[in-house]
Chains A and B, each alone.
Chain A
Amino acid sequence: MTASSRIPLLPAEEHERRRRRANSALQPLWELLDAVKDPEIPVVSLWELGVLQDIALENEEVVVTITPTYSGCPAMRVMAEDVQQALAEAGYPRSRIVNKLAPAWSTSWMSDAAREKLRAYGIAPPGASGAAVHCPRCGSGQVRNISQFGSTACKALYQCGDCAELFDYFKPI
Chain B
Amino acid sequence: MPDTGTKEAVKQYAIRLGDDALVLGHRLSEWCSYGPFLEEDLALTNVALDFIGRARMFYSYAAELAADGSTEDTYAYTRDCRDFSNLLIHELPRGDFAFSMARQYLVDAYNLAYMESLRQSADNTLAAIAEKAVKESSYHLRRSHDWMLRLGDGTAESHQRLQRAVDELWGYTPELFAMDALEQQLADAGIAVDAAALRPGWEQSVAATLAEATLQKPAGDWEVSGGRRGIHTEALGHMLSELQFMQRAYPGLQW
CB distance from A81 to the nearest CB of B (A): 12
Interface check A150, CB cutoff 8 A: yes
Of the candidate stretches B45-53, B75-83, B87-95, B226-234, the one touching chain A is B45-53
CB distance from B186 to the nearest CB of A (A): 20
- CB within 8 A of B54: which of A72, A102, A148, A171? A72
- CB within 8 A of B50: which of A70, A146, A147? A70
A101 touching B129 in the complex, CB below 8 Å, given contacts A72-B50, A72-B54, A148-B139? yes
Whether A73 contacts B124 by the Cβ 8 Å rule is no
Whether A73 contacts B53 by the Cβ 8 Å rule is yes
Whether B142 contacts A148 by the Cβ 8 Å rule is yes
Contacts of A72 in B (CB 8 A): 25, 46, 48-54, 56
Main secondary structure of the interface of B (DSSP, over half): helix
Q: How many inter-chain residue pairs (CB < 8 Å) link A and B?
A: 71
Whether B135 contacts A146 by the Cβ 8 Å rule is no
Whether B43 contacts A148 by the Cβ 8 Å rule is yes
Contacts of B43 in A (CB 8 A): 147-149
Contacts of A73 in B (CB 8 A): 49, 53
Contacts of B125 in A (CB 8 A): 101
Interface check A74, CB cutoff 8 A: yes
Contacts of A146 in B (CB 8 A): 39
Contacts of A171 in B (CB 8 A): 139
Interface check B131, CB cutoff 8 A: yes
Kindly report which residue of chain A lies nearest to residue B124, judged by CB atoms.
A102
Contacts of B131 in A (CB 8 A): 101-104
A71 touching B57 in the complex, CB below 8 Å, given contacts A146-B39, A149-B46? yes
Whether A149 contacts B42 by the Cβ 8 Å rule is yes
CB distance from A23 to the nearest CB of B (A): 25
Contacts of B223 in A (CB 8 A): none
Interface check B133, CB cutoff 8 A: yes
Type the 1/0 row for A144-158, where 1 means its CB is closer than 8 Å to any CB of B. Answer: 001111111100010
Q: Which of A2-61 contact B (CB under 8 A)?
A: none
Whether A102 contacts B136 by the Cβ 8 Å rule is no
Interface check A173, CB cutoff 8 A: yes
Whether B42 contacts A71 by the Cβ 8 Å rule is no
Whether A71 contacts B139 by the Cβ 8 Å rule is no
- CB within 8 A of B49: which of A70, A147, A173? A70
Whether B50 contacts A148 by the Cβ 8 Å rule is no
- The docked-state distance in angstroms from the alpha carbon of A126 to that of B25 is 27
- The docked-state distance in angstroms from the alpha carbon of A149 to that of B135 is 14
Contacts of B203 in A (CB 8 A): none
Contacts of B10 in A (CB 8 A): none
Whether A148 contacts B49 by the Cβ 8 Å rule is no
**Most interface-central of A74, A101, A171 (chain B CB within 10 A):** A101
- CB within 8 A of B136: which of A70, A74, A150? A70
- The docked-state distance in angstroms from the alpha carbon of A150 to that of B42 is 7
Type the 1/0 row for A64-83, where 1 means its CB is closer than 8 Å to any CB of B. Answer: 00001011111000000000
- The docked-state distance in angstroms from the alpha carbon of A151 to that of B42 is 8
6 additional contacts (CB under 8 A) given A148-B143, A157-B42:
A71-B53, A71-B132, A71-B133, A101-B132, A149-B42, A153-B49
> When A and B form their complex, which 4 residue pairs have the shortest distance between CB atoms, in order from nearest?
A72-B53, A71-B53, A72-B49, A147-B39
Q: Which residues of A contact B (CB under 8 A)?
A: 68, 70-74, 101-105, 146-153, 157, 171, 173
In the assembled complex, 15 residue pairs joining A and B whose CB atoms fall closer than 8 Å, in A order, are: A70-B132, A71-B50, A71-B133, A72-B52, A72-B54, A72-B56, A101-B129, A104-B132, A147-B42, A148-B142, A149-B43, A149-B46, A150-B42, A157-B39, A171-B139
